[in-house]
Amino acid sequence: MNIIISRKLSSPIYMQIKQQIREAIFSGQLPAGYLLPPERKLAEQLGINRSTVLNAYIELKAEGLIESFVGKGTVVLPISKSDSWADSSRIAHYGAPSWRHIFSERSLGSDDPLIRDLLSLPKRRDCISFSVALPDPGPELTAKLSEQLQALMQEQGDVMWKHTATEGILSLREALCTWMKQRGIDAAPEEVLALSGSQQGIDLLTRVFIDPGDTVLIEEPSYFSAMQTFRSAGARLIGIPADSEGQLRLDILESMLSKYHPKLIYVLPTFQNPTGRVMNLAVREQLLQLAYRYKTIIVEDDPYSDFRYSGNPLPPIRALDRHDHVIYVSTFSKLIGSGLRMGWLNAPKQVIRQLAIAKQMADLHTSTLSQVLMERMICSGLLHQHVDLIRSRYKHRKQLMIDSLHKHYVPGMTWQEPEGGVFIWCRMPKGLNANELLLRAADRGVDYLPGNPFFAQQQQTAYVRLNFSCAEADTIDEGIRRFTAAVRDATGREGLWDEAASEGLKPII
């Protein structure tokens, strides 16, 4: 557990500690029975008075979340509903509802505060961000979209505000088939579901396939929001590591298949998030054979395959599939922008039907405006032109970042140059904790995502994910200079956090 306190925030330190422990309890990160550090020890680690920690613990006790036992220490109590709403309603005063007693167990178990905490760290105004995987479509796209929107308003204004079928507008689904065809996938419109972003696809697949206790196999590391979604349905996640070439360990995968009979294998074969790796053709084919043999389903998530800068394109696993064992999910979030909320899914008709029932309950259908607009962008060829443009933009940015990493080289830091995608996955010099480095980097005016949340099983604090698609080209070298300076500081000094303390920020692990 990471507790980060900041003297710059308006909320008192004891409340910050209380809040973070509370969130960790609700997220399941601190399970019932977990022994919290003694007050004195925690106070020492944070460099604050013991009474501050004591106050945080008193607050948590008052909420019934923790308790101290003589000879044992302070432990986390089970989050039960019995201590609860009904009981507190007997108390003869009317205040705000006790929300935590009303929230469902599922929702309480889904919160994962880590990324939120990391992203909410105070940042310098001139911070150069390498953290989020946003596209940078540029002003050209806004001009094109505005032109298309105006034309659409004139031609079919009233259509854009009307309901569509849950599966999506037929002509859009046809256009999506055309778009998938150039990726090598032959699909019929009735095998396509329009989505409000590919995250919705992951959510719907979870609803339709996962019962509590089911197993999902994923690459280790993998996309954390997918892991969070699978977990929220009570799935057991098993991470399959890669070999020294970055390829999925099929021997381990097979032993997990025979042991756990997973419902799903979730993979990102092309320019993986977070590593940027590509699964080679042989592994794609063997993975498919294993899915057939063990009668399991592969979910192939493919947001980044249009961003190939070198090497030869590989077919998606769905394109190799002859027996309908692959469900393919993709999105326009990385091509246009995630605010569009427009993705799609390709699967056998029977699966589309079941997913459409779940989607109807979630949001009835995807925004008509987004659907009509994307159909137009595909059919007019404008999307193609746009993708060519941003592909060369990102290729340039990737090269700038790679060159800067060489230029500002820090001994012991390693990375592999990706053939595409939007990430560079770096391994930090030995002994350096990427979570802790965040504060130092923020102080220097740069941010990134630490690799830890992307791991399902083993806590791995040695990795950093750097995104190069959304930082302006002329800021990349300076951003990497700041980043490597932070790494150099951290590796070159004892008493790693003294400087941060003077700024009012302190991590504990």
Ligand X SMILES: Cc1ncc(COP(=O)(O)O)c(C=O)c1O
d(CA 480, CA 459): 25
C-alpha closest to that of 309 among 390, 243, 253: 390
CB of 343 to ligand X, least distance (A): 4
Q: Positive or negative, the Cα torsion across 48, 15, 6, 490?
A: positive
Judged by CB, which is closer to ligand X: 199, or 366?
199
Contact region with ligand X (CB under 6 A), list: 28-36, 195-203, 362-370, 373-381 = 195-203
Contact region with ligand X (CB under 6 A), list: 55-63, 119-127, 152-160, 197-205 = 197-205
Q: Are 50 and 38 in contact (CB under 8 A)?
A: no
Q: Which letter does DSSP use for residue 430 in this model?
A: T
* The two structure tokens encoding residue 8: 């710059």
Inter-helix orientation angle 382-407/138-156, to 10°: 160
CA dihedral in degrees (16, 17, 23, 28; nearest 10)?
170
Kindly give, in sequence order, each residue whose CB lies less than 8 Å from that of residue 75, ignoring residues fewer than 6 positions away. Answer: 32, 33, 34, 35, 36, 66, 67, 68, 69
CB of 450 to ligand X, least distance (A): 16
Tell me how far apart the terminal alpha carbons of the chain are, to the nearest angstrom. 6
Kindly give, in sequence order, each residue whose CB lies less than 8 Å from that of residue 398, ignoring residues fewer than 6 positions away. Answer: 309, 417, 418, 424, 468
Task: Out of 39, 59, 301, 443, point to the residue binding ligand X (CB under 6 A).
Answer: 301
CA dihedral in degrees (145, 147, 149, 150; nearest 10)?
160
Kindly give, in sequence order, each residue whose CB lies less than 8 Å from that of residue 148, ignoring residues fewer than 6 positions away. Answer: 373, 376, 377, 380, 382
Task: Out of 305, 333, 371, 467, point to the residue binding ligand X (CB under 6 A).
Answer: 333
Judged by CB, which is closer to ligand X: 48, or 195?
195
Judged by CB, which is closer to ligand X: 52, or 467?
467
CB of 407 to ligand X, least distance (A): 28
Which residue's CB atom is positioned nearest to ligand X? 197
* Site size toward ligand X, by CB under 6 A: 13
CB of 15 to ligand X, least distance (A): 32
Q: Is residue 446 near ligand X by the rule CB under 6 A?
A: no
Q: Is residue 316 near ligand X by the rule CB under 6 A?
A: no
C-alpha closest to that of 347 among 318, 316, 305: 318
- Interacting residues with ligand X between 264 and 283 (CB under 6 A): 268, 273
List residues bridging with 238 in a β-sheet. 217
Element (H, E) at 387: helix 382-407
Task: Out of 164, 296, 331, 404, point to the residue binding ligand X (CB under 6 A).
Answer: 331
CB of 115 to ligand X, least distance (A): 12
Lay out the sheet containing 449-450: strands in order across: 414-415, 423-427, 463-467, 449-450
Q: Is residue 199 near ligand X by the rule CB under 6 A?
A: yes
Judged by CB, which is closer to ligand X: 262, or 303?
303
CB of 507 to ligand X, least distance (A): 26
- Interacting residues with ligand X between 349 and 408 (CB under 6 A): none
What are the strands, taking DSSP E only, across 259-380?
264-267, 297-301, 326-331, 343-346
CB of 197 to ligand X, least distance (A): 3
Q: Is residue 197 near ligand X by the rule CB under 6 A?
A: yes
Task: Out of 343, 418, 453, 507, point to the residue binding ligand X (CB under 6 A).
Answer: 343
d(CA 207, CA 360): 12
CB of 390 to ligand X, least distance (A): 16
CB of 216 to ligand X, least distance (A): 15
- Interacting residues with ligand X between 130 and 189 (CB under 6 A): 133
Site pattern 224..263 for ligand X (x: CB under 6 A) = ----------------------------------------
Judged by CB, which is closer to ligand X: 79, or 471?
471
Write the single-letter amino acid at 500.
A
d(CA 398, CA 421): 9
CB of 393 to ligand X, least distance (A): 18
Report CA-CA distances (Å) from 193 to 172, 205, 265, 299, 344. Answer: 10, 12, 20, 14, 6
Q: Is residue 467 near ligand X by the rule CB under 6 A?
A: no
List residues bridging with 46 in a β-sheet. none
Task: Out of 14, 179, 209, 223, point to the residue binding ligand X (CB under 6 A).
Answer: 223
d(CA 295, CA 291): 6
Please state the length of the chain.
509
Task: Out of 338, 366, 370, 404, point to the residue binding ligand X (CB under 6 A).
Answer: 338
Contact region with ligand X (CB under 6 A), list: 22-30, 229-237, 287-295, 331-339 = 331-339
Q: Are 304 and 273 in contact (CB under 8 A)?
A: yes
Q: How far is CA 240 from the centre of its chain?
A: 18
Judged by CB, which is closer to ligand X: 177, or 218?
218
Contact region with ligand X (CB under 6 A), list: 113-121, 193-201, 231-239, 437-445 = 193-201
CB of 362 to ligand X, least distance (A): 13
Contact region with ligand X (CB under 6 A), list: 63-71, 92-100, 121-129, 194-202 = 194-202
Residues that bind ligand X (CB under 6 A): 133, 197-199, 223, 268, 273, 301, 303, 331, 333, 338, 343
